[in-house]
Amino acid sequence: MTIEQQNEKSSPSKIYTANAYTKPVEFGGLTIGGPDFAVIAGPCSIESLEQFTETAQFVADNGAVMLRGGMFKLRTNPSSFQGMGRDAFDIVREVKARTGLPFVSEVTDPRQINDFASLVDVFQVGSRNMHNYALLKELGSVDKPVLLKRGFSGMISEWLYSAEYVVKHGNPRVILCERGIRTFETATRNTFDLNAVAFVKRHSHFPVLADPSHATGATDLVIPMALASAAAGADGIIVEVHPRPSEALSDGFQALTLPMFKDLMARLEKILNALDKKMLKTCSPAKTLDL
C-alpha cells in the first residue's frame, strides 16, 4: 500500500460530513442541539451545601436549565483542592431535589461510573481526559448523555474520534464542548477556538456547547465570549458561577458572580432574538428554596 493510500485510509477527514444536520440529544425533558439555546451553570467545584444551594437556586431562578458542579477535580497541581469527592453526593441529591434541575459533573475514572449513574443526568469528560479511551469506551455503555470537552491540545479530528469511541461502544448521545486550546498566546488561560464551534456544527452531527469560563480564564471576558458563542452557532454554554469568587476553592478568577450571571442572561436574550433563536426553558419550573 502506498503512503498516499495509507493516508487516505486513516484520514481524519473521513469523519467529517460535508454539511451535517445536528442530531439533538434529549434527556430529562431537555433537548440540546434543537432550536433553543441551553445555559448550564454552577460552580467549578461543589464546596458545601450552602455554596452549591445558593448558586444553584440563583441560576435556576434566572434561566439555567442544568446545573454543573465538580465533585472529583482533575487539578494540574496535586496540592490544589481535589474536590469533595463522595462527600458531595448527598449535597447533589439535595440540591437537585430542591431545584428540580438536571446535573452534569465530570467523571475522572471509570470506577466512578456506577456511583455517578444515580446522581448525574449527563457525564462530563474533561479536557484532560479527551484521550482517555478506556474511560470513553466505558461511557459507551451508560444510558446517559456524555458531554465531551475538547482536549486543550486536541485537534478537531481527534476530538471527533473521541466522540466516535463513545458512539461505537453503544452510546450515541454525545454533546461536544469547546473549552479553549493551548496556543502561543498567554494573555488568556486558553485560546477560545470559536472556529471549532462553527466547524463541528457544520461538519458533524453532534450538538456543541461552548465553555467561555475555561476558554478565557477571566471573569470579565466570560460574558462577551458567551455572547460570541451564541453568535457562532453554539447550542448552548456552560459557565462557572460562584456567590463569592474570591473565596472559591477552584477557578475563582473566572467565576461569574450571581449578578453577573443575571446580566449575562439578559444580554444573551438580545443576541438570541437577533439570531431568531430562543432560550431553552425547563419543563419543570424551579422550586423555591426554604433554607
For ligand PEP, the binding residues (CB under 6 A) are 44, 70, 106, 126-128, 149, 179, 211, 214
Give whichever of 193 and 211 is closer to ligand PEP, judged by the CB atom. Answer: 211
Instruction: Give the shortest CB-149-to-ligand PEP separation in angstroms.
Output: 4
Angstrom distance (rounded) from CA 140 to CA 126:
16
Distance of closest approach, residue 267 Cβ to ligand PEP, in angstroms? 22
> Site residues for Mn ion, window 251-270 (CB under 5 A)?
251
Contacting residue, 30, 44, 125, 221, with Mn ion by CB under 5 A: 44
Which of 33/212 has CB closer to ligand PEP?
212
Of 149 and 201, CB closest to ligand PEP: 149
179 binds, among Mn ion, ligand PEP, none (CB under 5 to 8 A by kind): ligand PEP
Determine the Cα–Cα distance for residues 180 and 23; give it in Å rounded to an integer: 23
Nearer to Mn ion, 147 or 272 (CB): 147
Q: How many residues does the chain have?
A: 291
Decide whether 98 or 214 has the Cβ nearer to ligand PEP.
214
Residue 245 interacts with which of Mn ion, ligand PEP, none, CB < 5 to 8 Å by class: none
Residue 200 is placed in which grid cell? Answer: 463541528
Q: Minimum Å distance from CB 126 to ligand PEP?
A: 3
φ and ψ at 275, to 5 degrees? -90, 5
Which run of H or E residues covers position 101? none
Residue closest to 36 by CA, chosen among 227, 277, 282, 284: 277
43 versus 233: smaller Cβ distance to ligand PEP: 43
Per partner kind, with CB cut-offs from 5 to 8 A, the member of Mn ion, ligand PEP, none near residue 178 is none
User: Which string of b and e fits 38-72 if b means at least 16 CB within 10 Å?
Assistant: bbbbbbbbbbeeebbbbbbbbbbbbbbbbbbbbbb
The least distance separating Mn ion from the CB of residue 157, rounded to whole angstroms, comes to: 26
Residue 251 or 272 with smaller CB distance to ligand PEP = 251
Residue in 230, 226, 227 with CA at minimum distance from that of residue 239 = 226
Q: Is 47 in the site for Mn ion (CB under 5 A)?
A: no
Q: Give which of ligand PEP, Mn ion, none residue 127 binds (C-beta under 5 to 8 Å, depending on kind).
A: ligand PEP
Instruction: Give dist(CA 243, CA 56) in Å, integer.
Output: 10
Distance between CA atoms of residues 162 and 154, nearest Å:
10
Q: Which residues bind Mn ion (CB under 5 A)?
A: 44, 251
